[in-house]
């Protein structure tokens, strides 16, 4: 076993820095847990809402009419983006 000696002032300074670091981490966790990322919808939900086929939905994605995010092979849509799409196209009718 190896024993390492340090000055009391250095030890206390190190402890204070660790406490400050942990406080910062706690604040970041609290701040991030209060944020919401919104509600996400999958392909099936969007097709049902818009009353369209999966192929039509793919065409809307391909032509950049609907924004989306893809994780792996699964595609997700923000609920507010779908609502904006509906409002935009209801005005045109």
Quote the CA–CA distance of 81 and 68 in Å, as a whole number: 9
Tokens at residue 31, please? Answer: 């701040």
- Are both 46 and 83 inside the same structural domain? yes
Over the stretch 68-82, which tens digit does the pLDDT of each residue have?
999 899 999 999 999
Helix or strand (DSSP H, E) at 41: strand 40-42
- Are both 13 and 50 inside the same structural domain? no
Q: Is 70 in a helix, a strand, or coil?
A: strand
Over the stretch 20-51, which tens digit does the pLDDT of each residue have?
999 999 888 877 665 555 689 999 999 999 99
Mean pLDDT confidence for 5-26: 94
Number of domain units in the chain:
2
Give residue 56's domain range. 40-92
Over the stretch 46-55, which tens digit does the pLDDT of each residue have?
999 999 999 9
């Amino acid at each position: 076993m190896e024993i390492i000696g340090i000055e009391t002032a250095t030890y206390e300074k190190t402890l204070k820095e660790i406490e400050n670091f942990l406080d910062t981490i706690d604040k970041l966790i609290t701040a991030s847990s209060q944020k919401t990322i919104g509600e996400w919808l999958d392909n099936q939900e969007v097709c049902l809402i818009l009353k369209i086929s999966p192929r039509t939905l793919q065409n809307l994605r391909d032509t950049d009419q609907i924004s989306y995010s893809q994780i792996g092979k699964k595609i997700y849509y923000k609920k507010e983006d779908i609502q904006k799409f509906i409002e935009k196209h209801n005005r045109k009718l």
